[in-house]
Structure 1
Amino acid sequence: MRPAAGEYLHFSEDPTIDLFVPHVAATSAEKDPYVWAVDFDHAPSYWFPRQCPRGMAWVVPRTTPADRDRIIGAGSGERVHAIEYGWLEKMQTIKLYAYRMPAEVFRGIGDPNAPHAQVSTEPVRPLGPPEPVGNLLDCHAEAGIQLRLLDNLWSFWDEVITSSVGFSGIRLRNAKPRRNAQ
């Protein structure tokens, strides 16, 4: 599930939203109220249950061959997403919806050259009713994105953030606690 030209997407488990009103999420680092959406490249980061902790890594121009093989996997595409085993059943059963949003009312946030999301400070009415995203495992497979199941995200995450790959972590506070060093 990706946006078409002139659109961004907002993913939700709630199929009843008629109007998105800017707000400050309790967990947001941003102080201003926004309506959030994502572009084509960032949509896969949201093919998950909302509260699911996930670590994601992808090849960028600075990625070394060694980091590509170590983090992404030799001959395994350009991107990997990792979740904990405890979230697999929810990944397989969640009903996730995508709302198509008019791109012209949004602006990028984050790095001006590569914004991580799109925001609006005004209320936004979706372009139509929400669309079921469908099977989230199929979304990953069809996009050629590996989905790794791990007992604990932290060892993967620690390798990712000290490597040369691009990365993003979402809802990591919901991951299992770090294992004690032996």
Structure 2
Amino acid sequence: MRPEPGQVLHFSEDPAIARFIPHVAPTSTRAEPLVWAVDHDRAPDYWFPRQCPRALAWTTPDTTAADRDRVLGPGGGDRVHAIEYGWLEAMRTVRLYAYRLPADRFAPIGDPVPHAHAAREPITPLGPPEPVGDLFALHDRAGIQLRVLPTLHPFWDDVITTTLGFSGIRLRNARPRT
């Protein structure tokens, strides 16, 4: 599930959003009310239940062969997503929806590389929300490794020291460090 040209996506477990109103997200470091969305490259970051903690890593032009092989493994593709065992059932059963939104109403957010897009005005979806479907199959079709770990912390602590690109989403919901 990726946006088409001229679109960005908003993923939600709510299938009844008629209009997106800017707000300050509880987890945001920004005080400005915004509507959030993602582009083609960052859409896979949200192929998860909303509250699911996840650690993501991918190759970049600066990624060394040693880091790639160590984290992704030989023949492991260009991207890995990791979750905890406690989230497997939610991954199997969540009903996730994608809203297609007009990209021209959004501006990229993130420096030096944008990680999201935001609008400062209310946004009406381009159509009804689309069920995302089987999240495991979606990862498989995209060639993204999906790892299930007892806890995310060792993987995350390792990934952030590499030359890979990475993102940690909802890590506050991960199992506590021991």
Corresponding residue of 1:84: 84
Distance 1:30 1:175 in 2: 23
Deviations 1:129-178 (A, max 9, x none): 00000000011000000000000100000000011100000000000011
So what's the TM-score if we normalise by structure 2?
A: 0.99
Is 2:172 the counterpart of 1:178? no
Deviation at 1:74, TM superposition (A): 1.1
Corresponding residue of 1:169: 168
Distance 2:119 2:47 in 1: 22
Deviations 1:29-88 (A, max 9, x none): 111000000000000000000000000000011111111011111111000000000001
Unpaired runs of 5+ in structure 2? none
**Aligned-partner SS, 1:39:** coil
Letter of the aligned partner of 2:163 in structure 1?
A: S
Distance 1:141 1:7 in 2: 23
Question: Comparing 125-134 with 25-34, which one deviates more in the overlay?
Answer: 25-34
Distance 1:163 1:26 in 2: 29
Distance 2:93 2:26 in 1: 26
Q: Describe how 1:18-167 pairs up with structure 2 within 5 A.
A: 18-111=18-111, 114-167=113-166
Letter of the aligned partner of 1:60 in structure 2?
A: T
So what's the TM-score if we normalise by structure 1?
A: 0.96
Aligned residues: CA RMSD: 0.7
Unpaired runs of 5+ in structure 1? none
Distance 2:74 2:4 in 1: 31
Distance 1:170 1:162 in 2: 17
